């Protein structure tokens, strides 16, 4: 179930946020979107999730225009994990996770919720209120909410924000597990080392355009990232991607 964006453009007022972006993405792989602030990463992800209509161009899944799909079919196909981890009501975690079943509401709900618990190790949190959870616990519950819907594509916008290194690794490992099970995963990241660790494919963006896309081994390199972010990277022993040490 390939996902493709064809000459997608987004204008907000007089500002062009995305400029004729065309990319094709494959299921069963983790695709990381990288770029400086204002590059259009979140806008691209939200358009791919059918949350924002493009000003021009189209998004398709296996050749079917996403905008023409019934809303419930889209909701079952694409799961979106936003950057903000806010929940409007201070519900218990199980009720938050159950929200992921809203497009279905059928006899499989309990088994899907149980599977989401298992995939994220959140069953011990089931009866705790979302406001009582740590940042890492909340991140796992919100991921479980998406997984409960059993989407074929999982789109995550900077899911590592506010997580400590151990919880970052935990969350990325869970995204990799979903890709290994056949789900298409697209994730916006700022941490270059984590991106290199988790990505099968990568999209590099700047000023609303795709400047490079392809296999992460070819695209996520010190030279390409240094040019993208305008910094010099110092590579540490045993590491494929270095740390920024000075601006170019």
Token readout for 184 is 């298409």
| Res 239: pLDDT | 64
| Res 55: pLDDT | 97
Instruction: Please give the sequence-ordered ranges of beta strands (E in DSSP) within the chain, or none if there are none.
Output: 3-12, 15-25, 30-34, 56-61, 64-65, 78-81, 153-157, 184-188, 201-206, 209-215, 231-234, 243-247
The secondary structure of 148-195, three-state, reads HCCCCEEEEECCCCCCCHHHHHHHHHHHHHHHHCCCEEEEECCCHHHH
Whole-structure pTM over 0.85, yes or no?
Answer: yes
Give CA–CA dist 234/56, Å, rounded: 40
| Res 106: pLDDT | 72
- Identify the helix (H) or strand (E) that includes residue 119: helix 109-120
Q: Which residues in the chain show pLDDT less than 50?
A: none
Q: What angle do CA 237, 240, 241 make, to 5 degrees?
A: 100
Beta pairing class for 30-34 and 231-234: unpaired
Give CA–CA dist 183/79, Å, rounded: 10
| Res 200: pLDDT | 97
CATH superfamily of 3-247: P-loop containing nucleotide triphosphate hydrolases (3.40.50.300)
- Which DSSP string do the residues of 135-152 spell out, in sequence order? HHHHHHHHHHHHHHT--S
Q: Supply the DSSP symbol for 2.
A: -
| Res 245: pLDDT | 65
Judging by beta carbons within 10 Å of its beta carbon (0-12, 13-18, 19+), is residue 223 exposed, middle or buried?
A: exposed
Q: Where are the domains of the chain?
A: 3-247
| Res 102: pLDDT | 86
| Res 105: pLDDT | 72
Token readout for 2 is 């390939």
Beta-carbon count within 10 A of 176 CB: 16
| Res 20: pLDDT | 97
| Res 87: pLDDT | 76
């Amino acid at each position: 179930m390939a996902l493709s964006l064809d000459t997608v453009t987004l204008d907000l007022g007089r500002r062009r946020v995305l400029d004729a972006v065309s990319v094709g993405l494959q299921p069963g792989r983790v695709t990381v979107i990288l770029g400086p602030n204002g590059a259009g990463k979140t806008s691209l992800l939200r358009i791919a999730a059918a949350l924002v209509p493009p000003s021009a161009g189209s998004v398709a899944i296996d050749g079917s225009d996403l905008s023409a799909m019934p809303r419930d079919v889209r909701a079952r196909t694409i799961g979106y994990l936003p950057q903000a981890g806010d929940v409007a009501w201070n519900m218990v975690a199980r009720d938050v996770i159950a929200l992921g079943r809203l497009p279905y509401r059928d006899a499989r709900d309990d088994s899907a919720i149980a599977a989401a618990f298992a995939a994220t190790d959140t069953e011990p949190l089931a009866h705790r209120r979302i406001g009582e959870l740590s940042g890492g616990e909340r991140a796992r519950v919100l991921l479980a909410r998406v997984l409960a819907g059993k989407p074929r594509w999982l789109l995550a916008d900077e899911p590592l924000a506010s997580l400590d290194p151990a919880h970052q690794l935990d969350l990325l490992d869970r995204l990799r597990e979903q890709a290994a099970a056949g789900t298409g995963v697209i994730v916006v990241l700022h941490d270059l080392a984590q991106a290199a660790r988790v990505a099968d494919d990568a999209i590099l963006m700047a000023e609303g355009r795709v400047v490079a896309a392809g296999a992460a081994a070819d695209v996520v390199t010190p030279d390409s990232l240094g040019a993208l972010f305008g910094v010099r990277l110092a590579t540490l022993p045993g590491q494929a991607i270095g740390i920024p040490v000075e601006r170019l």
